[in-house]
Structure 1
Amino acid sequence: MSEATRLAVIGIGNMGAALVKRLRAVGYPVTVWNRTRETAEDVAARTGATVAGTPREAAGTSDVVFVSVANDAADLAVHEGRDGIVAGLRRGTTVVDTSTIDPHTTLRLAEMVRGAGGVHVDSPVSGSGSSVEAGTLAVLAAGDAADLDRVRPILDHLGKVFHIGPTGTGATMKVAINTLLIAINQGLSEAYVLAQAAGIDPATAYDVFEAGATGAPFLKYKRAVFEHPDDTPVAFSLGLVSKDADLVLALAERVGVPVPQAQANKAAVAAALDDGYADRDISTLAKHLRELRTRSSRG
């Protein structure tokens, strides 16, 4: 596919907006749709993208349709119905679904797309919005190799492409990744607050976490949130983390794997949600731990 290939991005949240910016930066014409039109118009104004009135319209004028929505229900909603993606597909149009959803839902969506004559690539991504813009994502592509090859030149602009396996394995791999991501964040939150409470300068503690055996890209791009939890834009809300934690537990039950740490992490996220943290970033769990410590000392 050439840079004249027409692209659409359905869902303009943090990741969707970053996708639009990256794809426009490398020269592709992009049409966008979002449930809240004002959001789509804002991104279009900043990137030179075109705004569609419905997912059907966006799909009908594009060769490749990227989908980046919050959950299974939203993904089904943008595919189904008279105004959905499937209704607008032309034969051979490729749908690249980057959403984090249940693998069973991925299989259902792929069947719908293929039944309408389209091509489906199950392709969640791992990384931050800044990773999208830098082209350093991990792209977890799944489906037929020939279908992946059709869009690989586009995906190569986003980062390193892994062909995980048949349809559904991309979604499964993303659930596995988020099992680890949530665990890293919880462990870092506890270690950071523990060191600070024990009298260690928090900046020094974070320097050591980054430099030692625990150093990982996640620590580097989340440092600002840990140090300034009230002043940093939300990249991955705890509401979405909770949804992903549920996907982890559902997959674990399905395949019969005990995941005691994932269960404990889900409980920690649930406690933060109960305290009003749904719209806060995942790394504000450290702030929540400090609040719990303060409550305990008062009690």
Structure 2
Amino acid sequence: MTTSVAFIGLGVMGYPMAGHLQNAGYDVCVFNRTTAKALKWQEEYAGRVAKTPGEAANGADVVFVCVGNDDDVRSVVYGDTGVLNGMAADSILVDHTTASAELARELADAAAEHKIAFLDAPVSGGQAGAENGQLTIMVGGESNDLLQVSAMLDTYAKHVGLQGPVGSGQLAKMVNQICIAGVVQGLAEGLQFAKNAGLDQEKLVAAISQGSAGSWQMENRSKTMWAGEFEFGFAVDWMRKDLNIALQEAHKNGSSLPVTALIDQFYADVQQNGGSRFDTSSLITRFSKKL
């Protein structure tokens, strides 16, 4: 069994994901731009901490990256201190960042020059999914490469699915975000209507969640949306980043995303009203006079 791994990026997702790997018996070395966060992780999980991404990757059979955006990925992958400079031939680079399909293909080409395999593997499930080991992972790349890391992914995932060649994982994640945006907006409008109509939220959701209107968002966010609570990890800023990636890809492949474009602007309204760090269910705040 492959035992030596590196994990780059200890945000709300990466922190518990790296912890699951360490708890499963893998030898994990982490890097985070904020060293204090890495030292806190080490104190909790007893893994190793590196001063640079390249140092973390040195000697690792598999390197996982989970950072913010395309530029963040490039900053930890390339250069003298980047992971590619520290990785050995025949190792595997797995990018969990939600990024562009174009970046995934770029990274695959760069990794191939070093005889390193690459998988783009964005995740869905939010902070709770990462903490509970219940993420969904959408993978782009070669099936043999996925097979080599599948046991590792299983430590923090309930479903891992190969979507196709490199870039397909990111494309699947775009579909995921497109669908989420539409469902959350529909739920926000429905709850607003229910409030104005004087309906009881608990009785309403208990009824309609059992029919065709039911969704993960309804089950997990309707109560907190009704109460005006929006502190669940995945911020509006990040959702807008993801939707922008999807809208750019749609322009390239000729897809029409009118609802997604509209909801992206609704999220911009939330940002302008001070809700940049609210979670994505905060779309309902647009119907209030103040946040």
Relative to the length of structure 1, the TM-score reads 0.90
> Does the Cα contact within 8 Å between 2:127 and 2:232 map onto a contact in 1?
no
* 1:202-234 deviation digits (Å, cap 9, x = unpaired): 33333334333222233333356424544x643
Partners of 2:227 and 2:25 lie apart in 1 by: 35
Where 2:289 maps in the other structure, the secondary structure is helix
| Alignment-derived partner of residue 267 in structure 2 | 269
Partners of 1:227 and 1:9 lie apart in 2 by: 37
Q: Identity over aligned residues, as a percent?
A: 29
- Say if 1:229 and 1:79 are closer, same or farther in 2 by CA, change over 3 A: farther
Alignment of 1:1-299 (within 5 A): 1-2=1-2, 5-157=3-155, 158-223=157-222, 225-230=224-229, 233-291=231-289
Q: CA deviation at 1:162?
A: 0.8
Partners of 1:287 and 1:23 lie apart in 2 by: 38
Counterpart residue type for residue 77 of structure 2 = H
Partners of 1:10 and 1:271 lie apart in 2 by: 33
Q: CA deviation at 1:66?
A: 0.9
| Alignment-derived partner of residue 297 in structure 1 | none
Counterpart residue type for residue 28 of structure 1 = Y
RMSD between aligned alpha carbons? Answer: 1.9
Q: CA deviation at 1:21?
A: 2.4
Q: CA deviation at 1:53?
A: 0.7
> Does the Cα contact within 8 Å between 1:89 and 1:117 map onto a contact in 2?
no
Counterpart residue type for residue 280 of structure 1 = F
- Say if 1:277 and 1:233 are closer, same or farther in 2 by CA, change over 3 A: closer
> Does the Cα contact within 8 Å between 1:18 and 1:130 map onto a contact in 2?
no
Where 2:160 maps in the other structure, the secondary structure is strand
Where 2:159 maps in the other structure, the secondary structure is strand
Relative to the length of structure 2, the TM-score reads 0.93
Partners of 2:194 and 2:81 lie apart in 1 by: 53
Higher mean Cα deviation, 21-30 or 234-243? 21-30
Partners of 1:210 and 1:285 lie apart in 2 by: 20
Where 2:275 maps in the other structure, the secondary structure is coil
- Say if 1:196 and 1:72 are closer, same or farther in 2 by CA, change over 3 A: same
Counterpart residue type for residue 283 of structure 1 = S
> Does the Cα contact within 8 Å between 1:72 and 1:101 map onto a contact in 2?
yes
Partners of 2:30 and 2:207 lie apart in 1 by: 42
> Does the Cα contact within 8 Å between 1:225 and 1:284 map onto a contact in 2?
no
Higher mean Cα deviation, 124-133 or 139-148? 124-133
Counterpart residue type for residue 221 of structure 1 = N
Partners of 2:59 and 2:254 lie apart in 1 by: 44
- Say if 1:15 and 1:45 are closer, same or farther in 2 by CA, change over 3 A: same
Partners of 2:106 and 2:223 lie apart in 1 by: 39
Partners of 2:87 and 2:234 lie apart in 1 by: 31
Where 1:235 maps in the other structure, the secondary structure is coil
> Does the Cα contact within 8 Å between 2:17 and 2:133 map onto a contact in 1?
no
Partners of 2:195 and 2:106 lie apart in 1 by: 47
Higher mean Cα deviation, 113-122 or 254-263? 113-122
Higher mean Cα deviation, 244-253 or 27-36? 27-36
Counterpart residue type for residue 222 of structure 1 = R
Query: Tell me, which stretches of 5 or more residues in structure 1 are unaligned?
Result: 295-299
